[in-house]
Amino acid sequence: MLLGSAALAALAGGPAAAQDAETLDLSESEYFEAPGANVLVFSNWYDGLFADSKISGVELIQQGERIATNGDVRLSATPGQWDPIGRMVDRKVDVANGRVEVTLEYPQYDFRYRIVAQEAGEAVKLTVLLDEPLPQALAGKAGLNLEFLPSAYFRQSYFADGKPGAFPRYPAANMVAGGERNAASGRDIGPGAEPLPMATGRTLVLAPNDPARRVTIQSAGGDLALYDGRNQAQNGWFVVRGLLPAGQTGAVAEWTLTPNAVPGWTREPVIGHSQLGYVPQQEKRAVIEMDASDTPAGEVRLLRIDPQGNETVAASGAPQPWGDYLRYGYATFDFSQVREPGLYTLEYRDQRTAPFRIAEDVYENAWHPGMDVFMPVQMDHMLVNEAYRVWHGDPHRDDGRQAPVNHEHIDLYRQGPTTDTRFKPGEHIPGMTVGGWLDAGDFDIRTQTQYAVVRELAHIWDQFRPERDQTLVDHDLRRVEIHVPDGHADIQQQIAHGVLYLVSMYDAVGHAVHGVVEPDVAQYTHLGDAASKTDGLIYDGSLEFGERTPTHSGTPDDRWIFTTRASALDYGTAAALAAASRSLKGFDDALAAKALRIAEETWQEVQSRPPFTYSHGNTTGGWLPGEEFTAAAELLNTTGKPQYAKRVAELWPEVSEQAPQYIRTALSVLPRMPAAFRSEVEKAAREIVSAKEPFTGPNPYGVPITTGGWAGNGAIMQSGLTDYAIHKAFPELSDGSGVYRALDYIHGTHPASNLSFVSGVGAQSKEVAYGSNRADFSFIPGGVVPGVLVIKPDYPENQENWPFFWGQNEYVVNMTPSYVALVQSAIDLNRNTR
């Protein structure tokens, strides 16, 4: 069919489309909106834990995807995660007059500014206002930036004052020598470089021929410059920037920002379902996510597929309206009555899901990628090989150096006023080049994460004893071979690997440390093989930089060990060692005995004195009473000694105030506690169960979706594990179905998409994630991502095409053991309810 010129212009968003332009109006949700286009103005603020998390400033959501963020005054053309950011002073919203005004400051420069966003028909006018001229130190540095998601503009073009250009698929813009890389990294690694703009002009039009990506920016003052931030860092974005003029006050930058609104645009429905499938006995509920302007219409059909590819209708019906959640409307389709094993697909309107199974053994293999691949890949101090592929060499053979005192470091590490060890700042601490897992997409060993992993794996062994053996682990050769059985249960080998690190802390310094982390940002942001980020040689300050001997070098690339005493860390470590000692019996009796000895000695030592209460970020242990309670419980379960039971009982009244976080631990000691304690715990369990409102609460998924700066899959899995523990202890209180709801959510029944959040598990799963291989836009099988992040006030997001959103896509090592435990719980439930 031939299209007329008007139709072609409409498809391209040309003059015919412009005739139907919609105005952007400031809504009660405090952002500007038109059909298919939103402009958020500081609805979100930079995450206080990790600086720039790409969720703040002026942001654009266009046809369902957030394509721009961080619209703010910044001090470089392509700022990185650790570069300075302004601090919000206040935010004023005037809905009646279509105006948002935000006051911000850089206190270190005595620089305060205002950003005003004002309705302007189909656009939003952005103005930077100064009451005082720009400080001299910021002349030529401060500018109004707006960052555009690179993956949204791959294979797209732009115009700069009418001159066309193309966005590069891979960074290829020009650089100029200079910059402040050395100062940022803290070590001499050669000259830095700054990007030059790809284009300049007063008017920029991005993706002019793509209605979903087209954005126009016009400057009333100086030129706009378009940069490619990926030249400096793989996680950089395309940046539109206008420098602020020196010596002026009032309106020093004025932009007209015009996203592409599309009259009548409606987001396609998403059929939330489990990409893995369902066991016959469980509830089966698809959740259909729809545009707010959409309404349920037509039938949902569950189709059964036979070996010849023929399809028959197994169930059908109108989706049942649920209501609104965040910015979308929801409906549900219950097909729990379908129990016949087979291959199925769901169909609604023109949407069809990938095939999934209903079968008794759906969960049997789901945990294998996590234990077979992800956990081995995260093993520090080991070469990890998989057939023809080396995931990484033997890293960090130069661990580690005593951290300097009174030092605020990256990634929430901080050393206090003393070392609390016999080592001087900068001195090598021997004996810690063993065990441990790389924390996440980065390469530190965070002790609090380590003991959480050990405890969860120990509990899996206690409860389910999965003896799967698919990994060769040789600590003598410091080598791991994936998919090569070695005669030992993989979970026990992983527990031993974690214990080796935990006990090394006590052998080396006598107490639990905060962790072992890179000395500077340059190493912290390293991508790829962990073994290539240090030279593996112990630092010797008497050698010249780069000079080497067979064992030492003059390159200060060794990781730092943060050692300020924190009793919470000692309790948490003692709990993990006590639990591990049970699991290691019969596998490594010597290590089991050593773990228990250190656990008991640590308990006695910490109990003998006032606690060390040093606390900073999330690296110094959890809530002190909770950590002590956990240690007492694990020591009780391992030894049966009455002094631990006594302390469990003494701590419970305080700990029960946070019962949802500690009920699993409390339930585990019931066989060793008196009836009165059992009654108290049962009361807490009853309250937890009664507080849950599956499918009738604040969201249609029946799980606790969090709204912080880190997405909430961890909390959702813990809710399922808690429900399982309550069911096992008090089956009259719960049927354990929270396990299935949590797994359904993780496997695809969630907002924003229907991908499984476990890479490589389910028909369609996360295949672009924030692991050590994120620059390759790839994944690590069995890794679990944080999930759906709620961009305030109402936008649920999990970006599949851009791995560098760490709050949504970063694998953290303790998530996989939680997932494995949850899957084992489902397997057990199903076996006992057939």
| Count of domains forming the chain | 3
State residue 696's pLDDT score: 76
Task: Please check whether residues 237 and 278 belong to one and the same domain.
Answer: no
Task: Please check whether residues 208 and 292 belong to one and the same domain.
Answer: no
Task: Please check whether residues 283 and 222 belong to one and the same domain.
Answer: no
Q: Is the dihedral of CA 585, 587, 590, 595 positive or negative?
A: negative
For the chain, give the mean pLDDT. 94
What domain range includes position 298?
A: 270-358
Task: Please check whether residues 192 and 222 belong to one and the same domain.
Answer: yes
Q: Rg of the Cα trace of the chain? A: 28
Task: Please check whether residues 223 and 75 belong to one and the same domain.
Answer: yes
Q: How far is CA 496 from CA 391, 516, 832, in A?
A: 21, 19, 31
Closest CA to 749 of 273, 268, 269: 273
Report, as an integer, the average pLDDT of 143-152: 98
Q: Please indicate, yes or no, if residue 230 is contained in any of the structural domains.
A: yes
Question: Looking at the predicted structure, is the pLDDT value of residue 184 above 80?
Answer: no
Task: Tell me if 782 sits within 8 A of 374, measured CB to CB.
Answer: yes
Task: Tell me if 631 sits within 8 A of 574, measured CB to CB.
Answer: yes
pLDDT in tens, 384-405: 999 999 999 999 999 999 999 9
DSSP state of 424: P
Task: Tell me if 576 sits within 8 A of 451, measured CB to CB.
Answer: yes
State residue 81's pLDDT score: 83
pLDDT in tens, 695-735: 778 999 999 999 888 999 999 999 999 999 999 999 999 99
Question: Looking at the predicted structure, is the pLDDT value of residue 11 above 80?
Answer: no
pLDDT in tens, 274-290: 999 999 999 999 999 99
Task: Please check whether residues 408 and 461 belong to one and the same domain.
Answer: yes
Q: How many other C-beta atoms are found inside a 10 Å radius of the C-beta of residue 791?
A: 24
Task: Please check whether residues 91 and 123 belong to one and the same domain.
Answer: yes
Task: Please check whether residues 43 and 90 belong to one and the same domain.
Answer: yes
Indicate the residue among 358, 393, 410 that finishes a domain.
358
Question: Looking at the predicted structure, is the pLDDT value of residue 48 above 70?
Answer: no
pLDDT in tens, 617-633: 899 999 999 999 999 99
Name residue 407's beta-bridge partners: 415
Q: Please indicate, yes or no, if residue 444 is contained in any of the structural domains.
A: yes
3-state SS record for 121-152: CCEEEEEEEECCCCCHHHCCCCEEEEEECHHH
CATH of the domain at 194: 2.70.98
Report, as an integer, the average pLDDT of 297-325: 97
Question: Looking at the predicted structure, is the pLDDT value of residue 420 above 50?
Answer: yes
Give the distance from CA 696 to its chain's centroid.
27
Give the distance from CA 353 to its chain's centroid.
26
Task: Tell me if 186 sits within 8 A of 521, measured CB to CB.
Answer: yes
State residue 191's pLDDT score: 58
Task: Please check whether residues 211 and 297 belong to one and the same domain.
Answer: no
State residue 180's pLDDT score: 54
Q: How many CA atoms lie within 13 A of 236 on its CB side?
A: 25
Band of pLDDT at residue 781, cut at 50, 70 and 90: very high
Report, as an integer, the average pLDDT of 642-655: 98
State residue 82's pLDDT score: 83
Task: Please check whether residues 458 and 412 belong to one and the same domain.
Answer: yes
State residue 49's pLDDT score: 60
Indicate the residue among 566, 586, 621 that finishes a domain.
621
pLDDT in tens, 525-565: 999 899 999 999 999 999 999 999 999 999 999 999 999 99
C-alpha 153/C-alpha 240 separation (Å) is 13
Q: Please indicate, yes or no, if residue 653 is contained in any of the structural domains.
A: no
Report, as an integer, the average pLDDT of 420-438: 98
Q: Which of 190-194, 540-544, 787-791, 825-829 shows the lowest per-residue confidence on average (mean pLDDT)?
A: 190-194
* Close Cβ partners of 813 (under 8 Å, ≥ 6 residues apart): 375, 378, 437, 438, 439, 440, 449, 453
Q: Please indicate, yes or no, if residue 16 is contained in any of the structural domains.
A: no
pLDDT in tens, 190-228: 457 889 999 999 999 999 999 999 999 999 989 999 999
The residue written with tokens 């650089």 in the block is: 175
Question: Looking at the predicted structure, is the pLDDT value of residue 8 above 90?
Answer: no
Task: Please check whether residues 282 and 311 belong to one and the same domain.
Answer: yes
C-alpha angle with apex 808: 805 to 812, nearest 5 degrees?
A: 100
pLDDT in tens, 460-488: 999 999 999 999 999 999 999 999 999 99
Band of pLDDT at residue 50, cut at 50, 70 and 90: low
Task: Please check whether residues 163 and 50 belong to one and the same domain.
Answer: yes
Question: Looking at the predicted structure, is the pLDDT value of residue 14 above 60?
Answer: no
Bridging pattern class, strands 471-474 and 37-41: unpaired
Q: Please indicate, yes or no, if residue 827 is contained in any of the structural domains.
A: no
Q: How many other C-beta atoms are found inside a 10 Å radius of the C-beta of residue 202?
A: 15
CA end-to-end span of the chain? 57
Question: Looking at the predicted structure, is the pLDDT value of residue 443 above 50?
Answer: yes
Q: Please indicate, yes or no, if residue 511 is contained in any of the structural domains.
A: yes
Question: Looking at the predicted structure, is the pLDDT value of residue 15 above 60?
Answer: no
State residue 372's pLDDT score: 98
Side by side, the strands of the sheet bearing 328-334 are 270-272, 285-290, 328-334, 320-325
The residue written with tokens 């604040």 in the block is: 698
Give per-residue burial for 62-89: e unless 16+ CB within 10 Å, then b: bbbbbbbbbbbbbbbbbbbbbeebbebe
Amino acid letter for position 538: I
Q: Please indicate, yes or no, if residue 703 is contained in any of the structural domains.
A: no
CATH of the domain at 285: 2.60.40.10
Q: Please indicate, yes or no, if residue 171 is contained in any of the structural domains.
A: yes
Indicate the residue among 580, 603, 621 that finishes a domain.
621
State residue 32's pLDDT score: 98
* Close Cβ partners of 791 (under 8 Å, ≥ 6 residues apart): 40, 43, 44, 55, 59, 66, 797
